[in-house]
Each structure stands twice: as C-alpha cells, then as structure tokens.
Structure 1
Amino acid sequence: MTSERGGPMAKPTLKDFVAAKISAGERIEDDDVLTLRRYIYGDMVVSADEASALFRLNNAKLPATDSWHHLFPEAIGDILVNQVRPEGYVSEENAAWLIGQVTADGHICTANELEAVLKVLEKARQAPASLEQFALQTVASSVISGDGPTRHGKALKPGVISDAEVELLRRVLYAGAGCGGIAVSKAEAEVLFDLNDATIEAENSPAWSELFAKAVANYMMAMSGYTPPPRDVALAREDWLAQPGGFQGGIAGFFKSMFGGGPDEAVSSDPFADRGAAMSAEIAANEVVTAVEAGWLIDRIGRDGLLHENEKALLRFIQQESPDIHPALRPLMDRAL
C-alpha cells in the first residue's frame, strides 16, 4: 500500500485503532480485543504509549465484551511490572502515573481501573506503599459512600461491606507487593479501623470480622522491616488466616511449618530451612505486644467510647496468639471475654 505521493503508507498504530473506535462509538467486540492484543503483544514489547491508548479507550466507556475487561487490567499490569527494568519493580513515577490515570475524573469510576491497580500489585515483587494505600483506601471509600460498581457490576449499598468487597480488601492486603510484604503496615491497619468504625452497625459480611481481626493483629504482632519471601510463599499466609482459631503455634508456628525449620531445631544444611529457623525465632520475639502498640490499639478502640464485636474478636485473637500481653491492654481484654 502506498500514499498519494507514492511512498509507503505508514502502518496504522494502536493509537489510530483506538481513535477510530472511539470516534465510531461502537461496542468493543471480541474481534476488537484480538486486534488490540496483536497491537500490544505482537512485538513482545508493551509501551507506555500503548498504555495511554488503552486508558483512552477505557475512559470512552463504550459497551464491551468480557474479553476487554480481561485484557485491560492484564495489559496495564504487564506494562508497569514486566516491561520495566528491573523487571517486577514498580517505580514511584509509574505508580504516580497509574494513580493519575485512574483518578483523572476525581475517582475510580470503573471496576476495570481498580482491577488494573490490583493486577499491578499482584504481579509486582515490590511496589510503592502509595499504590497499595491508594487501592485499599479506594475500596474502603467505595464501601462507605456506595459510589462505584463492584467487580460484578452491581451497585454498592452504602456503609455495608459485602463478600465481594472483603475479597477486594484481602487482595490488596496480601498482594505480595507494596509496603510491609508479609506484615500489615500501620497505615493499612488505620484504614481498616476507619472502615470498621464507619460500618460498625451494618449487616456486613461475616468474612469482614475475621479479616479485620486477623489483619490488625498481624500488624500488632508481626515484624516491621522484614524482607518478605517470594510472592507465592507470602500468599500462603492466607492458609493461616483462614483457620478459625489461627494457625497451630501462632505466627511463629506458621512460618516454622511453611519453611520446615524452627528456633529449637538443629541447624539444617538446607538454606531454605535455615532461613525459616531464623524467621521463626525473630517473629516469635516480635509477637510480644509492646507499650507503643498497646497504646495505639487502646486509642483506636476508644475513639467512640464503645467496644464493638469486631474489636472484641481482635482482642481475643491477640490474647490467643501473643505470648506476652502488655498490662495496659488487660482491662480491654477482660471486657472482650
């Protein structure tokens, strides 16, 4: 194909395809998604320009097939995680770019955009704390306001935490990226407390009570500054969180089992088991609730002057898992029984 001047005609780009699709105002069909995939992955390189084009198409809010809702977050995740150097690490600049894209109109307006943020967190080995906080706060704000769709496209009921939203919160907390790695951070625990306070009288999903108690207890007892294991290993922590009474032996017991080592066992020639032994010993030491941690928890629980059921569950869980409860917590512990 040649241009009017006889030279070769420029090959259409993804930007051209997106511009034509938006101009036509047509539904995004499966064939369109296949074409998009060829543009994006045909040269095995996903570029920043292609990411911007995808956001323009998403922002057009055209009716679309399910395959588009799968492609968009996956492609954004590949761009920001797998097509950067070093691979697997999201920079502060790219995290800020992503947040800017999904908040261009003042808030996350589609499930696609939130899913894109979650995909980045789940794919990354490490991501800025700002991105994880953004995702967590976005889900919490949507729960409180009822403004925004769930992943299933249903309207949210303001002030009520559904099963779907508990799973979104769980995905953010244990994505294997962002600040803290395995341990829940103080900032994350603060968001969870704010959400709990805002929905305390609501008919929330039963799963919320468990997630709240165990996630905040994780912040209280787990190590800070600990370098997390690979993502697939870190995500296994959900096996412990799912147990009704906590993992046998508490947090230290969980890691002892996971890595095959423990502080009281003979040193192994297996470096993975040795790592587990060292981690188990350090985590056991950090299970102790300190005066600072106790003061933070007392302040958070006491803000409305009441002790609610989720807070009682949190206190009971800490009492069960921590070998040494700070005396300042005893009055609250007694009320929780």
Structure 2
Amino acid sequence: MAKPTLNEFVTARIAAGNLSEDDVINVRRYVYGDMAVSVEEGEALFRLNNADITYHDTWYELFPEAILDILVHQAKPEGYVSEDKAAWLVNQIMADGHICGKTELDAVLHVLEKAREAPESLEQFALRAVADSVISGKGPTRSGLDLKPGVIAEAEVELLRRVLYAGAGSRGVAISKAEAEVLFDLNDATIEAENAPGWSELFAKAVANYMMAMSGFTPPSRKIALERENWLEQPGGFEGGLGGFFKKMFSGGVGGIRDAYGDTPDPFTARGNEMLAEIAANEVVTEDEASWLVERIGRDGILHENEKALLRFIREESPNIHPSLRPLLEKV
C-alpha cells in the first residue's frame, strides 16, 4: 500500500480531530524529508493549523519553524523576505477568516525576528493583530488565559514590545507613522482601563521615537545583499550583537539611540557619526509632527495620563519644542 501524501495525511488527521505527538513527528518527516519545506507543504501545514483540532504541544514548535524556513532560511538571498512571500503568509493566515491565531502570530514573529529585512506591512499586520485582540478580547495574545476586552495586561505589553523590536531588527529602528497610529488607536480604545504600568512607558517611548528619531539604521538592499550576503557576520560587528544594539537603541528612547551608535565600532563608525547628526536634527519636533500629535491627543478633548507621559518624555528629550505643542506641555 502506497504511503499517503502529506495532503492525504492532513485530511485524515483533520477528520480524526486530533494531532498526536507521533503525528507531529510524521508531519516533520513529510516536510523535512528532502531537507527543505516547499510552499505547497507550507499550505498543507496551514490547512492543518486552521482546522482547530486538538494538537500536541510539539505542533506549536514545528509550525513556526517550518514557516520560518520557507520565508527566511530558504530565501535568496537568505534572510530577505520578499513582498510576495509576505503576502503569501498573510493570505494563508486569513484563509480561515480569523485574524492571526497564536500559532500563526508566533510564525510571523519568528519571521520578523530572524529576517534581515522584511516588508513593513508584515510587522504592521502583527502589530494590528495584537491590538485588535486586546480590544476585542479574542485572539492570539495569551494562550490558555481569558482575555479581558479593552484591557492591556503585562503579557500584551511585552508582546507589543516584541513586535516592535522585531520590526526594528528586520526593517530599521525608527517607529513609523503607521505603527504610531496603531499604538494611538490602542491607547484610545483602552484609555480608561486598568492597563499594566508598562503600557504607559511603551506608548510614550514608541510614539516619541517616531516623532524625534525619524532616521534610523537600515539593513542593506536586496541587491547589495546578493553581493555581501554575510555582512552581519563580519568581524567588528555591533557590541552585544545586532539584537542587543536594537534593543538598547529602542528601549532607551532618543538617548538610547545616541548611546547605541556611540558604541558602534569600525567599520560602522562613519555611518554611526552620520546617524548621530541626523538624529540630533530630528530631535527637533517639526510643525507637521506637532500638528499630528495635537490632533491625535485632542480627539476626545481630554488629556489622559498616557498622553501626559508622552508629552513629558518629549519635553525632557527634545531640545526645541514647536510652539503649537506648548499649550499641551503646560498641562503636564
């Protein structure tokens, strides 16, 4: 009797309603039998994951690992996620009509954290998925625990931080306007909730990062990567590794960005000095940035505590505040 195909095996397991540890081992043999994971095999894995059956714990390790291999480790050049592959991932996630279950979110985060470069749209998709889950009380943020609609718990704060760090590693350090808008939407939706203390700090620093650190470290283009694919592994890289560089840069706000580039040794010193000059210029809050912030903060006519924290952070870090922000700053 011929061995069933992967799709046949998946169909049988879905009909049975469960995936045992032995089944997960068999799935791994199917997809890694030729030492690579094809797009078609990835689609079969999504079909199995979307079935909402009972899964052995090892499934939650295999699924993100396989998706990571498809999008990042098997990419040419390795580590660079194309727009097409990112769109494929989002389409697979949305195929069952649900916005990103926990296993799928883990897969997206694995991709963002391991990729040298990924489309910004993928990171925004993950950020929005977490925000929507917090607001609705349904979704991928905490496995095995009930979500309380409209409340940001510490687990969600750390997950949002992880998404933002992942976006920094794959795309650049500066928070984008689109990311800042998502964070403001989430803040507006949970403004009166008993949120975790860490949310106020994350919100303030992330939005201030967008306003005052518009420029940031950017990975090389795909074209350059084809010529210098191992550039991150060259001697003299960032102290503490690239992840530590980005974490220090982001977690310390604008001061952290300066400190991070101050630690940058050759051959990156020249670029680091350029970035320090750009960041110093961008610390000045411009008229457009100030207008955007005034509009966002003033939507409900009330200056809330998280927004006060943001304004205090800007007042402390920015050497030149635009006049349109001064009336708001006088209230904090």
TM-score, normalising length: structure 1:
0.86
Q: CA deviation at 1:234?
A: 5.2
Change in Cα spacing, 1:274 to 1:109, as seen in structure 2 (3 Å) is closer
Counterparts in 2 of 1:34-53, with a 5 A limit? Answer: 34-53=25-44
Q: CA deviation at 1:299?
A: 0.8
CA contact (8 A) 2:213 2:283 kept: yes
CA contact (8 A) 2:119 2:171 kept: no
Matched, 1:313 2:309: yes
Q: CA deviation at 1:126?
A: 1.6
Secondary structure of 2:331 counterpart: helix
Secondary structure of 2:143 counterpart: coil
Report the counterpart of residue 14 of structure 1 in structure 2.
6
Further displaced range: 122-131 or 211-220? 122-131
Secondary structure of 1:107 counterpart: coil
Deviation per CA, 1:111-169, whole angstroms, max 9, x where unpaired? 11121122221122222222111111111111111122433221211000111111221
Report the counterpart of residue 63 of structure 2 in structure 1.
72
Return 5+ residue gaps in structure 1 as ranges.
4-8, 261-269
Q: CA deviation at 1:257?
A: 3.1
Would you say how many aligned residue pairs link Structure 1 and Structure 2? 314
Further displaced range: 147-156 or 127-136? 147-156
Deviation per CA, 1:155-190, whole angstroms, max 9, x where unpaired? 211000111111221121110468851000000000
CA contact (8 A) 1:81 1:120 kept: yes
Report the counterpart of residue 265 of structure 1 in structure 2.
none
Report the counterpart of residue 238 of structure 1 in structure 2.
247
CA contact (8 A) 1:182 1:234 kept: no
Deviation per CA, 1:11-63, whole angstroms, max 9, x where unpaired? 543223222322333x3222222222222223221100110110111112221
Q: CA deviation at 1:241?
A: 4.9
Q: Per chain length, whose mean CA-contact separation is higher, i.e. which structure has more relative contact order (CA < 8 Å, sep 6+)?
A: 2
Q: Which letter maps to 1:296? A: W
Please say which structure displays the higher CA radius of gyration.
1
Matched, 1:257 2:262: yes
Secondary structure of 2:151 counterpart: coil
Report the counterpart of residue 202 of structure 1 in structure 2.
193
Q: Which letter maps to 2:299? A: R
Matched, 1:211 2:220: no
Counterparts in 2 of 1:1-337, with a 5 A limit? Answer: 9=2, 12-25=4-17, 27-108=18-99, 110-176=101-167, 181-224=172-215, 227-228=218-219, 232-233=241-242, 236-239=245-248, 241-242=250-251, 250-260=255-265, 270-336=266-332
Further displaced range: 213-222 or 121-130? 121-130
Secondary structure of 1:271 counterpart: coil
CA contact (8 A) 1:144 1:199 kept: yes
Q: Give the whole-Å Cα distance in 2 for the aligned partners of 1:284 and 1:252.
A: 10
Identity of aligned residues (%): 67
Change in Cα spacing, 1:169 to 1:105, as seen in structure 2 (3 Å) is same
CA contact (8 A) 1:149 1:156 kept: no
CA contact (8 A) 1:256 1:276 kept: yes
Deviation per CA, 1:48-85, whole angstroms, max 9, x where unpaired? 01101101111122211211111111211111122222
CA contact (8 A) 2:173 2:250 kept: no
Q: Which letter maps to 1:187? A: A
Q: Which letter maps to 2:13? A: K
Q: CA deviation at 1:228?
A: 4.5
Q: Give the whole-Å Cα distance in 1 for the aligned partners of 2:307 and 2:82.
A: 36
Deviation per CA, 1:310-332, whole angstroms, max 9, x where unpaired? 01111111111112211221111
Q: Which letter maps to 1:93? A: D
TM-score, normalising length: structure 2:
0.87
Q: Give the whole-Å Cα distance in 2 for the aligned partners of 1:149 and 1:155.
A: 11
Secondary structure of 2:288 counterpart: helix
Return 5+ residue gaps in structure 2 as ranges.
221-231, 233-237
Q: Give the whole-Å Cα distance in 2 for the aligned partners of 1:84 and 1:239.
A: 29
CA contact (8 A) 2:204 2:307 kept: yes
CA contact (8 A) 1:131 1:178 kept: no
Q: Which letter maps to 1:16? A: E
